[in-house]
Amino acid sequence: MPAYTATAPGKIILFGEHAVVYGRPAIAIPVPEVQARVYVSANPRSPAGNIMIKAPDIDLEAKLDDLPADHPIAFAVQVLQSEIGVRQTPACTIQINSTIPIAAGMGSGAAVSVAVMRALSAFLGHPLPDERVSALAYEVEKLYHGTPSGVDNTVIAFKTPVFYQREHPIEKLSVKLPVTLVIGDTGVSSSTAMVVGDVRRAWQTDTEGYEAIFDQVANLVLSARRIIDSGGPAELGPLMDENHQLLKKIRVSSPELDKLVLAAKQAGAIGAKLSGAGRGGNMISVVEPELALQVSNALEEAGAVRTLITRLFPDI
């Protein structure tokens, strides 16, 4: 049986996190500079059904059967097996490596699920279309996050910038001019489930106030979409700043995130905001290309443990 490799990129949310959980749209893009890679190879000498999982980045080397059923990797394999209806998977090793920072809002969990689904389905002779890969990875996301919007698995499975809204068909974003982004990692790990849960409780106590904020976020997302589709990055800056202020209002920022957002702006970024669940993880800034290094250096001086420059390329 031939071996198969699949990769999946990291992702970053440009606009609309949290509000997207409440039915508003969001914009997210793949970040191919970081990725999960999964290699599935046969172990012809082991009995059928024996699946070894090796994930050195998280110090995991175990038989699939020895992992708890709700372990995200075990669950991803199980979801895939029932999708394609295999009774017994031939003995194999699933090797997982990832350069995507964990618990930092860059979709590391969804990327591992997507790459596992792709490599294992190909290995089993049933390669799946992107829609199915995304839907199956969403099942695993539910295990991590409770009430995920589905944006992570969608942008990662389709590997394209998306305008995403729950229960709407996926819309690929059209990009007119290149946009340069600098991402800064606070190094503070944050649980998406916990932050989303806190927002849910606050929304329950002040539904009207939170709904009004989510409507404002939705308007920013619609404006951002028009700009990406027709104009340059300069106009995106103020929208990012406004989105950050709204995220502060729902109390998902943190001193570390605010410090990096300020440092990016002081170094010349056109706009900056936290990205993802918040309280830690990453922030993003939109910059003129010639200032990307300067902003990245400023972020490191302000305490970022990692920075990354990525670009949104126009459609060809």
Query: Any idea which residues carry the catalytic annotation?
Result: 152
Between 152 and 256, CB nearer to ligand PMV: 152
Between 103 and 293, CB nearer to ligand PMV: 103
Query: Can you tell me which of 40, 55, 196, 267 binds ligand PMV, judged by CB under 6 A?
Result: 196
Helices 130-145 and 151-158: crossing angle, nearest 10°? 150
311 phi and psi, to 5 degrees?
A: -130, 145
Helices 151-158 and 108-123: crossing angle, nearest 10°? 50
Choose the stretch contacting ligand PMV; rule: CB under 6 A; options: 12-20, 83-91, 114-122, 216-224: 12-20
Between 161 and 281, CB nearer to ligand PMV: 281
Task: Write out the DSSP string of 4-20.
Answer: EEEEEEEEEEEE-TTGG
Handedness of CA 204, 206, 212, 218 (dihedral sign): negative
Count CA atoms within 13 Å of residue 261 on its CB side: 27
Between 73 and 196, CB nearer to ligand PMV: 196
Our CA angle for 32, 226, 196, nearest 5°, is 60
Choose the stretch contacting ligand PMV; rule: CB under 6 A; options: 65-73, 142-150, 169-177, 265-273: 142-150
Query: Can you tell me which of 76, 151, 173, 181 binds ligand PMV, judged by CB under 6 A?
Result: 151
Query: Can you tell me which of 90, 101, 148, 271 binds ligand PMV, judged by CB under 6 A?
Result: 148
**In contact, 159 and 152? CB cutoff 8 Å:** no
The encoded tokens of residue 154 equal 């969608």
Question: Which positions from 197 through 256 interact with ligand PMV, judged by CB under 6 A?
Answer: none
Q: Is 180 in the site for ligand PMV (CB under 6 A)?
A: no
Residues that bind ligand PMV (CB under 6 A): 13, 17-18, 20-21, 105, 145, 148-149, 151-152, 192, 196, 276-277, 281
